[in-house]
Amino acid sequence: MHSFRGFLLKEFYHIFRDRRTAAILFGMPLIQLLLFGFAIRNEIQEINLGIYDQSHDAVTREITDKLASSGYFVMTQELHSTKEIEHAFAEGSIAEAIVFEPGFAARMIREGRSNVQVLTDGSNPNISKIITGYTSSVLQDYRNTALKTSEVGVEAVPLMMFNPELKSVNLFVPGLMALILMLVSALMTSISITREKESGTMEVLLVSSLRPVEIIIGKVVPYFLLSFVNVVTVVALASFVFGVPCRGSVLLLMLESLLFIVTALSLGIFISTITSSQQVAMMISLAGLLLPTILLSGFIFPVASMPLPLRMISNLIPAKWYLIIVRGIMLKGTSFGYIWKETLVLALMATVLMAASIKKFKTRL
Amino acid sequence: MRTIWFLVQKEFLQIFRNRGMLPIIIIMPFIQLVILSNAATFDIKQVPLHLQDRDRSILSEKLVKRFTAGDYFRLTGYSFSDRESIGELLCRNADLVLVIPHDFERDLTTSGHAKVQLMINAEDGFSAGVIQAYASEIIRTFNREELPKSGVNATVQAPPEIDIISSGWYNPELEYTHYMVPGILVILVTLIGLFLSGMNVVREREIGTIDQINVTPIKRYQFITGKLVPFWIIGLAEMSIGLLIARLIFHVPMLGGYWLIYLVSAIFMLVVLGMGLFISTITETQQQAMFVAWFFMVIFTLMSGLFTAIESMPHWAQTMTLFNPVRHFVDIMRRVMLKGSGLLEFREQLLWLIGYAVVMVTLAVNRYRKVAV
């Protein structure tokens, strides 16, 4: 017990004597969350719109006005031919072109329907879909109000649960929390053991009376306490700066976040035990975790829309489970009863990784 | 010149002798490229649907059938209380609850109008919008096709329909992979390049071999060049293999010229490596170099416009992305591959990259001193 305590203290000293790294460990999550929380959004403003009106009647003018005053679009230019559309897209001066067929209003009266062609750039499908969505909602709005007919048939009344204003920040900030916490924690521990191996101080540890269990746990604990500070920072920022609600229990949120940190730290330690070079350890924990965590955890792209093999792989990403938990607690206000499964998965991952690290830890050089 | 040649040889030898790193720089990027490119899509299919049909009439069943018949929705359960339905939303068994009120059929046949409620899980605002669009489309089709058959309202005129035909000018199918693959490739190449070069000089300093180089009569530019060239070659090689994968496996179109891609890649690699080397000269340990590189890498990745649109960012953030070389490179790649743009069309981005490259390499050369700092 004595030796373990001494070992713990040593680890703490190491961390705080390296001022630059300590500053980075505390400051970077803060800066990154602030930066991305404000910058990563899905709402688009000021869409440059070009109109190719082949009809020039009252209806098309009304629709054009409605689009202009919707707040989403900026009327950039009037187009007069397909060639002009081509040119505008190639230059990048418009993001969307709307084409009204000739005789728009007349056809509407005669046949009860008319065509509007909505052309988006397409080279960025994300934006294209969002822009098309905005456009259809404006057009539908026009149809329902300006055409002054009562709603016939079945009318759908949508109720947006948990996020009534559809703010993308509510989706992204929890995701950012998961991403940043995961990367920082895994990075911190992944080099701890390899650094000792490289600098030769591992020999000293091995000849001491410390058992592998104690060494591994002794390395995780200081970073765990550090990360606790990061968790508090991150949750506070999410609530107070970005206004993400916390409808569930804050205590539960904290505990789950700590569990996530333990999982991430264990992953880092595991990486640390399987290689003897700092370079390799860092490359694995960064290059191997960055893109998979961003893409497969449900941070931006919903897991449900991925093909089956990817959905299965995403189950291996701790951030995915944590995201479900965080979004559940913060946005839906769920109690533990709804998220015990995900909590169990995280706890299991942490245990398995720790056990694997202890087994892998070689007591011989 | 011979000095540089020897240095390059030395670097290559060291890289290939490092058995642990080899799979990471050679295999891992391409595995990630192939696997992850399929992940980025907003196409939502098989949305779990929970049903609260309080009417259970012929008309309501017809409506429900339309929901479950297609590919968009999948019925996961039904109940008769709001509490249960919301419970299903909470434990993620359903993303949409369709509530059909008690007098649905009666209201429709008498007044021609009835309401149904769509409770949508809006955690992800964008997906919620998509779900709402799907449901609205189904209901509109139901109104158009089913109601006349059931003898509802021959008298009241339905409002005119505005049919929206949407497509993309480039990439008409709005294939996500065509957009994501070049972007992910850029990020992977940047990752490898930045980290390899970032750790390089620091490592030499940590293990002490930098002093051995410093006592030789080698000049600064020779040293830096000797460090840049090997990683530059590796970066371009990875780029080529990545492009091959993009064409063969993902069928990403290549409307522009390959030489353009290589030209820009060459300049881009200089930016990345210059930055890595500069980081390498201002940090003391590999750990610090790694953290700094990580910091910038995450920023470059998330603010590259690849995952979320640059147009969605506030103005100050959009200005910041001008200083993100990955943003410019992704933009150029997209333009060349998907739009067939020529040099003239992306000269602005190219100038940014060239300027960046000059600045970075100059900084790296300047910071390197042959005396122990």
Mutation for testing the A interface, residue in B205, B292, B312 having most A CBs under 10 Å: B312
DSSP A88-125: HHHHT--SEEEEEPTTHHHHHHHHSEEEEEEEE--SSH
Which member of A159, A277, A331 has the closest CB to residue B119?
Answer: A159
Q: 């240095």: which residue's tokens?
A: B7
* ipTM score of complex: 0.84
pLDDT at residue number A344: 94
A338 to chain B: nearest residue by CA?
B91
Other CB atoms within 10 Å distance of the CB of residue B69: 10
- A201 and A255, same structural domain? yes
Give the pLDDT band (50/70/90) at residue A122: confident
Q: Positive or negative, the Cα torsion across B4, B10, B16, B22? A: negative
Mutation for testing the A interface, residue in B31, B43, B308, B341 having most A CBs under 10 Å: B308
B115 to chain A: nearest residue by CA?
A155
Cross-chain Cβ contact B302/A164 below 8 Å:
no
B313 in Cβ contact with B236 (< 8 Å):
no
Phi–psi pair at A72, nearest 5 degrees: -90, -35
- A329 and A347, same structural domain? yes
**Number of CB pairs < 8 Å for A and B?**
379
What is the distance between the terminal CA atoms of chain B, rounded to a whole angstrom?
Answer: 27
A63: in domain: yes
B306 in Cβ contact with B321 (< 8 Å):
no
- A57 and A197, same structural domain? no
Collect all residues of chain A within an 8 Å Cβ-Cβ radius of residue B156.
150, 152
Helices (H), B118-256: 125-149, 176-207, 209-214, 220-248
Which member of A129, A156, A275 has the closest CB to residue B116?
Answer: A156
- Residue A149: pLDDT above 60? no
- Residue B355: pLDDT above 60? yes
- Per-residue pLDDT reduced to its tens digit, B340-352: 878 887 888 889 9
Q: 């299965």: which residue's tokens?
A: A312
Mutation for testing the A interface, residue in B15, B26, B272, B298 having most A CBs under 10 Å: B298
B289 to chain A: nearest residue by CA?
A21
Per DSSP bridges, beta strands A113-120 and A153-161 are unpaired
pLDDT at residue number B175: 73
- Per-residue pLDDT reduced to its tens digit, B166-208: 777 776 666 778 888 888 999 999 998 998 888 888 888 888 8
- A325 and A289, same structural domain? yes
- A28 and A94, same structural domain? no
Mean pLDDT of B323-345: 86
Tell me the two tokens of residue A257. 């976040």
Segment 26-65 of chain B within 8 Å of chain A by CB: 28-29, 32, 35-36, 38-47, 63
Tell me which of A121-125, A150-154, A312-316, B143-147 is least confident.
A150-154
pLDDT at residue number B97: 92
Q: Which domain holds residue A217?
A: 19-40+167-360
- A324 and A243, same structural domain? yes
Residue B175 and residue B163: Cα distance in Å, rounded? 23
- Residue A134: pLDDT above 90? no
Collect all residues of chain B within an 8 Å Cβ-Cβ radius of residue A155.
113-116, 139
- Enumerate residues 6+ apart whose C-beta is below 8 A from B60: B53, B100, B104, B105
Residue A218 buriedness (CB in 10 A; 0-12 / 13-18 / 19+) = buried
A11: in domain: no
Which residue intervals of chain B bear CATH 3.40.1710.10?
Answer: 47-149
- A201 and A131, same structural domain? no
Tell me the two tokens of residue A87. 């040119």
A12: in domain: no
A4: in domain: no
B52 in Cβ contact with B79 (< 8 Å):
yes
Q: Which of A337-346, B161-170, B218-227, B363-372 has the highest mean pLDDT?
A: A337-346
- A222 and A282, same structural domain? yes
Other CB atoms within 10 Å distance of the CB of residue A172: 25
Number of domains composing chain A: 2
Segment 153-182 of chain A within 8 Å of chain B by CB: 153-168, 170-172, 179-180
pTM recorded for the entire structure? 0.85
Per DSSP bridges, beta strands B47-53 and A153-161 are unpaired
- A103 and A202, same structural domain? no
- Residue B136: pLDDT above 70? yes
Residue B185 and residue B167: Cα distance in Å, rounded? 26
- Residue B73: pLDDT above 50? yes
Chain A touched by B92 (CB under 8 Å): yes
A10: in domain: no
Tell me the two tokens of residue A336. 């533990």
Residue B284, SS3 per DSSP: coil
Q: Mean pLDDT for chain A?
A: 85
CATH of the domain at A69: 3.40.1710.10
A44 to chain B: nearest residue by CA?
B312
Q: Which of A76, A111, A145 is the last residue of a domain?
A: A145
Percent of chain A with pLDDT over 90: 14
- Per-residue pLDDT reduced to its tens digit, A20-62: 778 888 888 889 999 998 888 877 778 888 888 888 888 888 8
- Per-residue pLDDT reduced to its tens digit, A201-239: 888 888 888 888 888 888 888 888 888 888 899 889 988
- Enumerate residues 6+ apart whose C-beta is below 8 A from A83: none
A140: in domain: yes
In Å, what is the CA distance from A104 to each residue of A56, A60, A108, B157, B163?
8, 7, 6, 19, 11
Mean pLDDT of A123-146: 78
- A326 and A282, same structural domain? yes
Mean pLDDT of B238-248: 91
Residue B234 and residue B26: Cα distance in Å, rounded? 9
A147 to chain B: nearest residue by CA?
B159
pLDDT at residue number B341: 79
Q: Mean pLDDT for chain B?
A: 85
Tell me how far the alpha carbon of residue A68 is from its chain's centroid: 32
What is the distance between the terminal CA atoms of chain A, rounded to a whole angstrom?
Answer: 24
Cross-chain Cβ contact A280/B21 below 8 Å:
yes
Residue B212 buriedness (CB in 10 A; 0-12 / 13-18 / 19+) = exposed
A141 to chain B: nearest residue by CA?
B162
Cross-chain Cβ contact B166/A120 below 8 Å:
yes
B332 in Cβ contact with B350 (< 8 Å):
yes
- A139 and A214, same structural domain? no
A195: in domain: yes
- Per-residue pLDDT reduced to its tens digit, B289-324: 888 888 899 999 999 888 888 888 888 999 999 999
Which member of B32, B156, B303 has the closest CB to residue A152?
Answer: B156
Residue B115 pairs with which residues in a beta bridge?
A155
Per DSSP bridges, beta strands A96-100 and A47-53 are parallel
B151 to chain A: nearest residue by CA?
A153
A5: in domain: no
Which strands, in side-by-side order, build the sheet including A96-100? A73-78, A47-53, A96-100, A113-120, B161-168
pLDDT at residue number B366: 85
- A351 and A209, same structural domain? yes
More confident residue, B167 or B152: B167
Segment 217-276 of chain B within 8 Å of chain A by CB: none
Residue B98 pairs with which residues in a beta bridge?
B51, B118
Tell me which of A8-17, A134-143, A322-331 is least confident.
A134-143
Phi–psi pair at B182, nearest 5 degrees: -60, -40
Other CB atoms within 10 Å distance of the CB of residue A147: 13
A182 in Cβ contact with A319 (< 8 Å):
yes
- Residue B155: pLDDT above 50? no
Provide CATH code, domain B47-149: 3.40.1710.10
Q: Positive or negative, the Cα torsion across A178, A179, A180, A185? A: positive
Chain A touched by B93 (CB under 8 Å): no
Cross-chain Cβ contact A191/B287 below 8 Å:
yes
In Å, what is the CA distance from B64 to each residue of A272, B49, B84?
54, 10, 19
